[in-house]
Amino acid sequence: METRSIVINNQTYDALSLVQEIITNQTEWRINGLEFLIQLIDTSPIPVKFYTSGTTGIPKEIFFTKDQIFTSAMNTCKYFNIKKEGNLLLCLPAEFVAGRLMFARAMVSGGNLIWVQPSLNPLQNTGNIDFAAFTPAQVSTIIKDPVTRNKFKTIRTVIIGGGEVSMELENELKHFDNNIYSTYGMTETLTHVAVRKIGELEFKWIHGLGGLSKNENNCLVIDLPFISDEPIVTKDIVDLIDEHTFIWKGRLDNVINSGGKKLFAEDIEKKIYSANIMSADEFYITSAKDAVFGEVPVIVIQNGVSLPPLDQVNSVLKKYEHIKHIEIIDKFEYTPTGKIKRLKF
């Protein structure tokens, strides 16, 4: 009979020892991960429940079989050459897909999973790491600390997900010698299906079977046979290079239809922070209704943030992208996975 196990912090666990771990170790941040692991190690065909990230609405339940979970994990391990001798770092919440797939990657590779409490700087008490997944906020925090910045440089392969890598962060990471990638994927695709090396524009498919196309709205369509019999239609607008390569433009939800022109909020943001006018975390671009143009781009800031004059902001934008006015709110809102919720006005 098939048995499964996982090595965590240099200790091997099977189903029985995981149950014992839950009984004896009631650390809150570990409980969800241990419960998931018990389901994953169980060889029964019962599917496992996940929740979508809530980027565009209320998080929804979604179920995957263990075969689907392990296939996704194996494809990642193959693409990034994750081996039994390696140390994998898990520093993400275990209730979401990004954290849970790190468990599966450790299981299929046979590597040692270094599991630490999620925090903005999880490298403060870690040793040698071969493969790690972080959010953009974690990477930004890590590289500001001289000690953890040096540790970060020694990680063979880093993947960054859960949100877009800002131009500021991208420009800094270009100077690092390790392999650093931005990922593209979602819970519905059971984590990433494509990755983009920092410093490059193109996302590249990581799986064997399947591929990419786009629909009439120029939104990415994903054919992933081991996940779904039907193509997965996204709301991500892309330039499709071929069936395994694309350049991400922005979210359909964030397109601003202004006087017949389609403007990408993300493109406008990049121009503003690339010109060093504002930091990426100080503002975002969204739309407001307009009697003449239908919609116009507006800039949203939090109380207490000083905004440069609008003529300075607009000097780096095309005329039809010009910011019409400023919206000041008390506090930015974020999804449970750290993605910003863009208000519309």
The string of pLDDT tens digits covering residues 310-340 is: 888 888 888 888 988 888 888 888 776 667 7
* Residue-by-residue DSSP string for 215-241: -TT-EEEEE-TTT-SS-EEEEEEEEEE
What does DSSP assign to residue 317? S
What angle is formed at CA 199 by the lines to CA 195 and CA 201, rounded to 5 degrees? 60
All domains in the chain, ordered by first residue: 6-208 (3.40.50.12780), 252-341 (3.30.300.30)
Among residues of the chain, what percentage have pLDDT more than 90? 52
Q: Please state the rounded mean pLDDT for residues 33-52.
A: 90
216-256 residue pLDDT tens: 989 999 999 999 999 999 999 999 999 999 999 888 888 88
Does 42 have pLDDT greater than 70? yes
Angle at which helices 28-41 and 15-24 cross, to 10°: 160
Q: What is the mean pLDDT of the chain?
A: 89
Alpha helices per DSSP H over the chain: 15-24, 28-41, 66-80, 97-109, 136-142, 146-154, 167-173, 265-274, 310-314
Closest CA relative to residue 135, chosen from 170, 98, 101: 98
Q: Residue 1 — pLDDT band, cuts 50, 70, 90? A: very low
Q: Please state the rounded mean pLDDT for residues 159-180.
A: 90
Q: Please state the rounded mean pLDDT for residues 146-155.
A: 95
Cβ proximity of 284 and 269 under 8 Å: yes
Does 12 have pLDDT greater than 60? yes
Q: Please state the rounded mean pLDDT for residues 68-82.
A: 96
Query: How many C-beta atoms lie closer than 10 Å to residue 52's C-beta?
Result: 19
